Amino acid sequence: MLSSHIKKTGNSLEKTEKGSWVMKYIISGILGAAALGLMATAASAGTLEDVKAKGFLQCGVSTGLAGFSAPNDKGDWQGLDVDFCRAVAAAIFGDGTKVKFTPLSAKERFTALQSGEIDMLSRNTTWTINRDTALGLNFVGVTYYDGQGFMINAKKLPGVNSALQLSGAAVCVQTGTTTELNLADYFKANKMEYSPVVFEKLEEVDAAYDAGRCDVYTTDQSGLYGIRLKLSSPDDHVVLPEIISKEPLGPAVRQGDDKWYHIVKWVYFGLLTAEELGITQANVEEMKASGNPEIKRVLGTEADTKIGTDLGLGNDWVVNIVKAVGNYGEVFERNVGQGSPLKIARGINALWTKGGLQYAPPIR
C-alpha cells in the first residue's frame, strides 16, 4: 500500500518536471521521510509497554457523574469507573495510585481514545455495535448494566407518574449519547411530541434542568439518581418507573492491541472472580494461604503458575487489584450501592450466582 503510494507520486512528479535531477532528489527525500514517518508509527510499542514506560495509566473518565467518576471535596477522583481504572493500574504496577484521569465530555471521549491521548476509556459508555465496529474501539465487558430513565419535578408536575404522559414536554439531554437517540426513538414509537434541549456537558444539562428550562431530564437511570443529589431541592424530583433502553456501560480500549485488550478485560473478570470466591480487600492476605486450588490459581500462589505472566502481568495481579480497590461487590457498594449516597440496589448487577448478570469466565 505504502510503496505503491510512493511509486505513483514519484511517477506523476517525474512527468511534470522531466529531467530535473534536483527535483527528483528532493522529492525522494520528502517521500522517504514520509515513509519513515509511517514506519515509525507502525513499529511503535504496545500500550502496555507505553504505560509501563510512562509509569502511570492515563484513564478517560466523565467530567463529573456522582457514583461513577467525580472528584470529591478533596479533589480526588471517586466512583465505579474511577476504581476500575485504579484496578487496571494496580494489576500493572501493583499500585492503584499510578493512574492519571482525563475528564472527557461525551463528545470528546472516542476521539481521545482513538488518538492515543488516553490508554483506556472508563466513562459510563454504552456498548453498541457501531462503537465496537466503526469507531475502532473494543469494549471489554459490562461493568454496570443500566437503562435509560426519566426524571421530573413532581412538585411542579403533580399529575405525571408515567413517561407516556410526557407528550409536549421539553426534555433536557446530553448531546452525542445513545440517550439522545433512544429518546427520539421512544417518543416516535409512542407518537408523542417533545422539544429537545441539548447541551454538550453534563453540568450544563444539570443547570438547565435545575433552572426549569426543561420539564424532563433523561439519561441512564443510575445517572439520574446521582444527578438528583446535586439539584437544589432533591426531594422534589422523582425518577419515573419506565426504563426505555438497554445501556450496558463498560470500559473500552483501542482496536489492534490484543494484549492490552486482554489485560483490561481480565482485570474486570478478576474483580468478578474475587467477589465470587469471597476474596475481599480485608481478607486477601489470609486468602493467599488458602488451600483451595481455585483461590490459589486466582491469587497466583499455585506452584509454577503462568496465568499472570501469560497475561503480561505479575502472577499476583488479582492480589494487587483487590488490595487496591476490593472486589467488584465492594467497588459497587462503596460507589453506587448502600455505602454511597446513591443507594442503588445490586439488581441485575449482582453476580450470576445471586440472580444477576455479572459472570466471569473461569481463570485457569
Partner 1 sequence: MATQDIPQDVGGGRASLFYDPKVRGIFFQILVVVALVAFVYWIIGNTVENLKRANIASGFAFLNGRAGFDVSDTLIAFDSDSTYRRALLVGFINTLVVAAAGIVTASILGFLIGIGRLSHNWLIRKICTVYVELFRNIPPLLVIFFWYFGVLSVLPLPKESIELPFGSFLNSRGFYFPKMVWGEGSMLVPVALLLGIAMSWFVARRAKQRQMATGATFPVFWTSVALIIGLPFLALVATGFPLSFDFPQKSTFNLTGGLQIKPEFLSLYLALSFYTAAFIAEIVRAGIRGVSSGQSEASAALGLRSAQALRLVVVPQALRIVIPPLTSQFLNLTKNSSLAIAIGYPDLVAVGGTVLNQTGQAIEIVVIWMVVYLGLSLITSAFMNWFNAKMALVER
Smaller CB distance to partner 1: residue 86 or 254?
A: 254
User: Of 208, 238, 243, 350, which lies in the binding site for partner 1, with binding defined by CB under 8 A?
Assistant: 208
Binding region for partner 1 (CB under 8 A) out of 59-67, 172-180, 220-228, 318-326: 172-180
Give every strand in the sheet of 137-139, ordered side by side. Answer: 99-104, 57-62, 120-121, 252-254, 137-139
Smaller CB distance to partner 1: residue 38 or 289?
A: 38
The span from the CA of 165 to the CA of 174, in Å, is 22
User: Of 169, 295, 299, 360, which lies in the binding site for partner 1, with binding defined by CB under 8 A?
Assistant: 169
DSSP H/E element including 174: strand 169-174
Smaller CB distance to partner 1: residue 156 or 306?
A: 156
State yes or no: residue 23 binds partner 1 (CB under 8 A): yes
Site for partner 1 in 284-343 (CB under 8 A): none
User: Of 200, 203, 242, 316, which lies in the binding site for partner 1, with binding defined by CB under 8 A?
Assistant: 200
Smaller CB distance to partner 1: residue 212 or 361?
A: 212
Binding region for partner 1 (CB under 8 A) out of 176-184, 259-267, 274-282, 316-324: 176-184
Q: How far is the CB of 138 from partner 1 (least distance, A)?
A: 9
Smaller CB distance to partner 1: residue 9 or 290?
A: 9
Q: Which residues fall within 8 angstroms of residue 51, CB to CB, at 6 or more apart?
A: 57, 58, 92, 119
Smaller CB distance to partner 1: residue 36 or 345?
A: 36
The span from the CA of 214 to the CA of 230, in Å, is 17
User: Of 36, 45, 76, 107, which lies in the binding site for partner 1, with binding defined by CB under 8 A?
Assistant: 107
CA dihedral 244, 249, 253, 255 (to 10 degrees): -30
Q: Which three cell numbers stand for residue 147?
A: 437503562
Rg of the chain in Å (alpha carbons):
25
The b/e string for 300-316 (b: 16+ C-beta within 10 A; e otherwise) is: bbbeeeebbeebbbebb
Binding region for partner 1 (CB under 8 A) out of 250-258, 261-269, 343-351, 355-363: 250-258
The span from the CA of 306 to the CA of 300, in Å, is 8
Contact of 49 with 111, CB cutoff 8 Å: no
CA dihedral 130, 218, 143, 275 (to 10 degrees): -160
Interacting residues with partner 1 (CB under 8 A):
1-2, 5, 9, 13, 16-17, 20, 22-23, 26-27, 30-31, 34, 37-38, 41-42, 106-107, 110-111, 114, 130-131, 134-136, 156-157, 159-160, 165-166, 168-170, 175-177, 180-181, 183-185, 188, 194-200, 204, 207-208, 211-213, 215, 254-256
